[in-house]
Chain A
Amino acid sequence: MEKFANILLKYKSIILLIIGVITLFFVLQIKDLTINSDVTSYLPKTDSAVVLFNKIGENFKGNNILIVGYTNNDIFTYESLKEIKTITDTLNTIKGISAITSIINVLDIRLIDSVIHIVPLIDEYELPYDKHTLDSIKNYVLSKETYKGTFVSDDVSTTLITVRYENDFSLPIDKSLKKDSLFDYYNTMYPSPIYKIEIKNDSLFIKINKTELTSIIKDKLKKIKLNGKIVFGGMPAIVLDLNNIIKRDMLYLGTIAGIIILTILFIIFKNWQGVILPVLIVGIAIAWVFGTMSLFKIEINMLTNTIPVILLAIGTAYSIHVINRIREMYLNGYDIIYSIKESLKYIIVPVFFAALTTMIGFISFIFGSYLIIIKYFGIFTALGVFYSFILAIIIVPILLSYFPYKMSEDKKIKEKNSSKLNYLLRKILSLCNYKPTATIILFSAIFIVFSIFIFNIKRKVDIIEYFKEKHDTKISEQFLRKQFGGTTYMFINTEGDAQNIEQLKWLDSLQQYMKKHPLVSNTLSIVDILKEMNNLMGEGKKLPNTQQKIDNLWFLLEGQEQIQQIVSSDKKQALLQVILKSSTNKDLEDIINYTEKFFKTHKTNAFKYYHAGYPAIYVHLDNSIVQSQLYSLIIAILLMYFIISFLLKSLKKGILAITPVVGTCLLLFGSMGLFNIPLDIATVLVASVSIGIGIDYAIHLINHISYELKQTKNLQESINNATLISGKAILINVITVTMGFLVILFSDLTPLVNFSILIAITMISSGFTSITLLPAMFVKFLKK
């Protein structure tokens, strides 16, 4: 370690220059980072729910459906219809949209005086304006199951415009085009930012930037001057809002967290070195992490966006420990260079193990989690911890050697003894030293009481629950769910021959069966349309009774835009769209079980059938969250136990070190049950994060006690000295981290708010158990 310190101080200018260049390189990469909040990307691409969902998108004009709700006193007035037409026309000008369905362009097939009328429901070129015509259209719409509650709300105040997004697709490269003109040609056809073109072998892979498309749609529609109101719903709208919140969180909450941490550090250290250094180091580490993410083309999501705040919280600890140690030596009268060299000799090992165990806490997500989003979070937070550690042990000593403390002897003595934290620590120490058994019993009682509430924990994956109650997105979504019975789509696909009468009969039975479920608000399939047409041909509202009749009716349906949403272009697949009233885990699981029950009782080998959509994705997410939690925890605790036992060269000390951590976990889960905080995509991470942080504290304290024991040969004195120095650093870290995390309380995303509350609980618990329970256990169990 001495060698390391010598090299560091000898080549300090070159080392700083190298770090500067690396930082500049990473900062330049950051501009290419993109954000992605798409729920389907949380699961691995190979997940069956994702594969089937994407398959539906490819075959049926897209699986991403933006809902544009237009609301006015009565939509059946000339003014309202004109505004709906303007909205539909505006949408028609936007690329990347595969289909728009509104009451202005929906094709209506009806029989009047023995003549089949195939006409748009409302003639967009001659919008009706007299009351009689408008009333007759209104009555007709309200009398038809396919319109009422689907396109138009029961109170005729709102109508829906469904906007389907194109799916990503591949194209063979037009070989007649030369390389230069190739991109010009395709860029004109598929302009950015809506499309992103990638060349893969002999074909072009064209990706739709759905968030950008939603943003363009919203901007264009908001520019229209309307008397009515527009609300947005459906997954694309939610994803866009999530992205915007992520951007806001990163910018504002990150800055506020930084300022709060700076302020607290200034109050504690009262010198700029203690304030600037930890934040500077974490700032560089954050730039390196995001730079690395950009290099590997990893998108920011609603978990990785918390990395800056988490690193501000955790990463500052390493610098604080290094600074604190150097400062303590300096206050004891040594000159700065000697203080640096001696401090580094001692501090690198515990800081390294603290960083290592924290990294393990995060890396455990890679092996323990099925969810991609959590894996990335684990990898890049661990990397951030690693960067923070490396930078802390390099930059802090170098900069302190350039800019040493300048204190008079009097001030040093005053600084050393007057700290309020020292006073608090002495009080705590006297309690633990004199009443160790009572301390142990008190903590055990707290842990047991909280663990009772663990069984109350609920799980939640409904994305709309991510938003706070009064957030616009949630209000719009709830409004649309109320007016139209839901925006959650479930798709049931049959794959064989969509025109085949047997397949259609099966689909018909399934549709009737699904309609009976109380959670189903609406269904649509080709069967509805065939029945309608068979009725027009004078044979009643039922499926045609021969294959030939179905084939004939198909002629009229071909090419209709709305048909392409329920029958694939190769006419092999027919889709049943089911709109659900609820999207809670329990209800979605219920509807999936209900659907699968039909599959079991109506088995056939004639064609394939499966369900897809958000219910399956949510259920997979839900199951993965529990699985992630369980595996990550077990992996993290076991690994940490072995590492800490190895470090302390004692299995017994290992158990002592891990006890406050396990206790904190019980307290944490108990709090979730007690305060009704659900286990979701963000809160699932807390236990492993808290293990990493808690173990840091234990390592610092136990290592320091062992070090003092070698010097003083007196356990009591060693505990006192260790708690006063390392305990102080722990307390500084607890206060800064807790305050830093509490900034996330102002996020608009509920899982992140809950995440910050839980981290605050875990920090306080880990910190206090480390400086109270841990010394008490040492006094009690290791005295001899």
Chain B
Amino acid sequence: MRTLNLVLVSFVLIIGIKAQTADEVLKKMDATVYAPKDQQMKIKMIIYDKTGKETVREAFSIQKGFDKRLFRFTAPPSQAGIGVLSLPNEVMYLYMPAYEKERRIASSAKNQNFAGTDLSYDDMESKLYQNKYDAVSLKSEGNDFILELKPKPDNKTNYGKLIITLGKDNFYPKNVKYYDKNNVQIKELNNLKIEKINNYWTSTIIEMKTLKTNTKTRLEFTEVKFDNGFSDDEFTVRKLIQK
């Protein structure tokens, strides 16, 4: 009996250590990805349809912390000037220059694709992974960790699980595989160019593929600057409607 208890205790301990390790890796990943206090960048979005035909959009974005972001399109001309301001508690404002009006948007359509790209509003969200997902397993493969995440019960996502491959050296994700609730992989994200800018690890080329439609979106970030000291005033409706 005593032996059995010992085995059980050891087993629970091993499980505990594993879970803790997975959690730790998840936290370290969050800490790496969301390390900068603020950031600004130019974004080029290249959207490929299933035959390989491409559409290009350009935007400029500033972000402070996890939940304040101003996103303004600069090209094509028909969409230039359109701005999206995201604030805490899922408050979002949209500015349409042609109407010269802003409108508050309450969107729970997180699973819809953002502006015709392969990234959903959910993917674009700057929210710590650990707040949305639980780390359920961790494997070590060469220089990488393979981390499996499952959505928390209150997370209204289409994803059933995420498999993230991240470097042991920098804890920055190299590849993310997205699975649906039936455990079928539906999307794949690749961080194609991971580099260190101002002491922060970041990916300046991201590619997201939607496997079902065989479409992909490539995001190229340039003029990336961190820790610019943005004040909260930069993230107001007044700033949003300023051309």
A interface, CB within 8 angstroms of B:
89, 92-93, 95, 98, 107, 112, 114-120, 123, 125-126, 169-172, 189, 499, 536-539, 544, 546, 548-549, 551-556, 558-561, 569-570
Give A537 to B101 CA distance when docked, in angstroms.
8
* A171-B214 contact, Cβ under 8 Å, with A115-B106, A558-B115, A559-B115: yes
B17 at the interface (CB under 8 A from A): no
Do A559 and B52 touch (CB < 8 A)?
no
* B178-193 contacts to A (CB < 8 Å): 180-182, 184
Do A537 and B51 touch (CB < 8 A)?
no
B131 at the interface (CB under 8 A from A): no
* Closest residue of A by beta carbon distance from B96: A552
The dominant DSSP class at the A interface is mixed
Do B99 and A539 touch (CB < 8 A)?
yes
Our pick among A537, A539, A558 for the contact of B116 (Cβ within 8 Å) is A558
Do B106 and A93 touch (CB < 8 A)?
no
Residues of A within 8 A of B180 (CB): 92-93
* B55-85 contacts to A (CB < 8 Å): 55, 73, 78-79, 82
Can you name 15 extra interface pairs (CB under 8 A) apart from A112-B106, A118-B109, A555-B115?
A: A89-B181, A93-B184, A107-B109, A114-B103, A115-B106, A116-B106, A537-B101, A549-B96, A549-B98, A551-B98, A552-B79, A552-B97, A555-B79, A559-B112, A561-B112
Give A559 to B107 CA distance when docked, in angstroms.
15
* CB contacts between A and B, total, < 8 Å: 102
* B106-122 contacts to A (CB < 8 Å): 106-109, 112-117
Do B104 and A546 touch (CB < 8 A)?
no
B50 at the interface (CB under 8 A from A): yes
Nearest Cβ on chain B to A595's Cβ, whole angstroms: 30
Our pick among A95, A116, A171 for the contact of B51 (Cβ within 8 Å) is A171
Do B99 and A537 touch (CB < 8 A)?
yes
Do B104 and A115 touch (CB < 8 A)?
yes
* B21-52 contacts to A (CB < 8 Å): 49-52
Nearest Cβ on chain A to B101's Cβ, whole angstroms: 6
Give A570 to B52 CA distance when docked, in angstroms.
12
Give A116 to B115 CA distance when docked, in angstroms.
17
A-B contact pairs, 11 of them (CB 8 A): A115-B103, A115-B104, A117-B107, A118-B107, A119-B108, A171-B51, A172-B52, A537-B96, A538-B101, A551-B98, A552-B99
Give A537 to B105 CA distance when docked, in angstroms.
11
B156 at the interface (CB under 8 A from A): yes
Give A160 to B37 CA distance when docked, in angstroms.
49
B53 at the interface (CB under 8 A from A): yes
Our pick among B82, B106, B109, B211 for the contact of A552 (Cβ within 8 Å) is B82
Residues of A within 8 A of B49 (CB): 569
* Closest residue of A by beta carbon distance from B109: A118
Residues of A within 8 A of B107 (CB): 117-119
Give A536 to B103 CA distance when docked, in angstroms.
9
Give A554 to B117 CA distance when docked, in angstroms.
14
Residues of A within 8 A of B116 (CB): 558-559
Residues of A within 8 A of B212 (CB): 95
Max count, chain B CB within 10 A of own CB: residue among A98, A544, A548 = A548
Do A170 and B51 touch (CB < 8 A)?
yes
* A548-B108 contact, Cβ under 8 Å, with A170-B51, A189-B211: no
Residues of B within 8 A of A546 (CB): 98
* B86-100 contacts to A (CB < 8 Å): 94, 96-99
Do B112 and A560 touch (CB < 8 A)?
yes
Do B214 and A189 touch (CB < 8 A)?
yes
Do B50 and A171 touch (CB < 8 A)?
yes
Our pick among A125, A172, A556 for the contact of B156 (Cβ within 8 Å) is A125
Residues of B within 8 A of A95 (CB): 212
Residues of A within 8 A of B51 (CB): 169-172
Do B182 and A93 touch (CB < 8 A)?
yes
Give A123 to B111 CA distance when docked, in angstroms.
12
Our pick among A93, A119, A538 for the contact of B109 (Cβ within 8 Å) is A119
Residues of A within 8 A of B113 (CB): 558-560
Our pick among B105, B156, B181, B211 for the contact of A116 (Cβ within 8 Å) is B105
Residues of A within 8 A of B184 (CB): 93
Residues of A within 8 A of B99 (CB): 537-539, 549, 552
The dominant DSSP class at the B interface is loop
Give A167 to B230 CA distance when docked, in angstroms.
49
Do A552 and B53 touch (CB < 8 A)?
no
Give A546 to B49 CA distance when docked, in angstroms.
29
Do B105 and A118 touch (CB < 8 A)?
yes
Nearest Cβ on chain A to B105's Cβ, whole angstroms: 5
Do B79 and A551 touch (CB < 8 A)?
yes
Give 4 closest A-B pairs by Cβ, nearest first. Answer: A559-B113, A548-B98, A558-B116, A551-B78
Residues of A within 8 A of B105 (CB): 115-118
Give A560 to B182 CA distance when docked, in angstroms.
23
Max count, chain B CB within 10 A of own CB: residue among A117, A189, A537, A551 = A551
Nearest Cβ on chain B to A62's Cβ, whole angstroms: 12
* Closest residue of A by beta carbon distance from B79: A555
Nearest Cβ on chain B to A262's Cβ, whole angstroms: 52
Q: What 1/0 mask marks residues of chain B from 193 to 229 whose CB sits below 8 Å from any chain A CB?
A: 0000000000000000001111000000000000000
Give A92 to B108 CA distance when docked, in angstroms.
20
Do A123 and B79 touch (CB < 8 A)?
no
Residues of A within 8 A of B82 (CB): 552, 555
Max count, chain A CB within 10 A of own CB: residue among B78, B115, B180 = B78
Residues of A within 8 A of B181 (CB): 89
Do A554 and B79 touch (CB < 8 A)?
yes
Residues of B within 8 A of A560 (CB): 112-113
Do B112 and A107 touch (CB < 8 A)?
yes
Give A570 to B53 CA distance when docked, in angstroms.
9
* A559-B73 contact, Cβ under 8 Å, with A116-B106, A120-B108, A169-B51: no
* Closest residue of A by beta carbon distance from B183: A93
Residues of A within 8 A of B112 (CB): 107, 118, 559-561
Do B109 and A553 touch (CB < 8 A)?
no
Do A553 and B104 touch (CB < 8 A)?
no
Nearest Cβ on chain B to A554's Cβ, whole angstroms: 7
Give A93 to B113 CA distance when docked, in angstroms.
19
Give A561 to B113 CA distance when docked, in angstroms.
9
Max count, chain A CB within 10 A of own CB: residue among B96, B113, B114 = B96
Do A556 and B94 touch (CB < 8 A)?
yes
Residues of A within 8 A of B156 (CB): 123, 125-126
Residues of B within 8 A of A169 (CB): 50-51
* B159-186 contacts to A (CB < 8 Å): 180-182, 184
Nearest Cβ on chain B to A637's Cβ, whole angstroms: 51
Give A95 to B182 CA distance when docked, in angstroms.
13
Give A119 to B113 CA distance when docked, in angstroms.
13
Do A537 and B103 touch (CB < 8 A)?
yes
Nearest Cβ on chain A to B121's Cβ, whole angstroms: 9
* Closest residue of A by beta carbon distance from B215: A569
Do B98 and A117 touch (CB < 8 A)?
no
* A559-B109 contact, Cβ under 8 Å, with A171-B51, A551-B78, A552-B79: no
Give A392 to B49 CA distance when docked, in angstroms.
59
* Closest residue of A by beta carbon distance from B181: A89
* A116-B117 contact, Cβ under 8 Å, with A171-B51, A189-B214, A570-B53: no
Residues of B within 8 A of A171 (CB): 50-51, 214
Do A553 and B96 touch (CB < 8 A)?
yes
Residues of B within 8 A of A126 (CB): 156
Give A208 to B51 CA distance when docked, in angstroms.
16
Residues of B within 8 A of A116 (CB): 94, 103-106
Our pick among B52, B97, B213, B214 for the contact of A548 (Cβ within 8 Å) is B97
Give A199 to B5 CA distance when docked, in angstroms.
62
Residues of B within 8 A of A561 (CB): 112
Give A319 to B26 CA distance when docked, in angstroms.
82
* A120-B109 contact, Cβ under 8 Å, with A537-B101, A558-B116: yes
* Closest residue of B by beta carbon distance from A555: B82
* Closest residue of B by beta carbon distance from A58: B51
